[in-house]
Amino acid sequence: MDIKNIDLDKSEEFYFKANKALWNVKTPIHVKSEFYENDAFLNGKSSLTEVENEFLPDVKGKRLIHLQCHFGQDTISLERMGAHCTGIDFSNIAIEHAQKTAMELNLSTKFYESNVYDVLDLNLGKFDIVFTSYGVLSWLPDLKKWADVISGLLKPGGLLYIAEFHPLLYMYEFESQELQYPYGSPGKVFSDSESFTYADRNYPLESISYFWQHNFDEIISALLDNDLEILRFKEIEFSPYNCFPHMKEIAPKRYQYGKAELKIPHIFHILARKRGE
């Protein structure tokens, strides 16, 4: 991989457009990959990980919106658990696949193509739960704006559930296994020249994506400043996905990057509540 730090000298629209084009290419590869086990999913297997199974609040009967839902597996898994779900993603190819899947499964799950920052313009009303997970924040340049959208989507007392890869893990250049990125870098965008996708490393892919580094100061402050109170914060020393190079399986569906003795946190989980009655 050829990865470098570049100045934010183009518009956000440019970076979003490039990333959307990349995810439109990736989605059909992901749907067919062993990584996503789509055949098993269509036959009833949940795509949620052990982290969600342990920490997710009760969703039955709740109105839930899933931000950055990719092609909808987790959204539909949550619908199967009794939630009334809406999925959002900026990839039109992913949303088209998700809509088709929901129809084939005879589910009422709704899916909309939208950038996260534009979701409030869809006028979807208020939700009991906002759900988002794994590889979502690095595609967003402004977390204050992200948190403002979440706050605007939630009813008073509504919950945000996020499980995400840890900022410390994102400091690594995974192929070289060297620390290369800053612990957060507001106002800077990074580019990544990719030759494969995490879901199928044997599928040739030549592309450039753009991403942002965020630290916990930025993440938590954005939530607190937008009427969200933190109910639970948890760091976890494994990933439920084998999605980075050089990962080792330390237990079924638990993967670790780097030296085990370093106890690098791989993911974090936050449960937050919208203030108000």
Confidence of residue 10 (pLDDT cuts 50, 70, 90): confident
- Given a contact cutoff of 8 angstroms between Cβ atoms, the answer to whether 218 and 186 are in contact is yes
pLDDT in tens, 199-233: 888 887 878 899 999 999 999 999 999 999 999 99
**pLDDT at residue 34, as a whole number:** 94
Closest to 271 (Cα-Cα) out of 48, 47, 77, 59: 59
For residues 231 and 272, is the Cβ–Cβ distance under 8 A?
yes
pLDDT of residue 3: 45
pLDDT in tens, 161-188: 999 999 999 999 988 889 999 998 877 8
Please give the Cα distance from 212 to 226 (Å, whole number): 21
The radius of gyration of the chain's CA atoms, rounded to the nearest angstrom, is: 18
Dump pLDDT digits (tens) for 227-271: 999 999 999 999 999 999 999 999 999 999 988 888 899 999 999
Does residue 122 have a pLDDT over 50? yes
CATH class assigned to 2-274: alpha beta
pTM (whole model) above 0.75 = yes
The ranges assigned to domains in the chain are 2-274
Average pLDDT over every residue of 83-97: 98
Mean pLDDT within 95-105? 98
- Please say if the pLDDT value at position 100 is more than 90: yes
Q: Tell me the percentage of the chain whose pLDDT exceeds 90.
A: 82
Q: Is the pLDDT of residue 124 over 90?
A: yes
Give the mean model confidence (pLDDT) for residues 34-43: 96
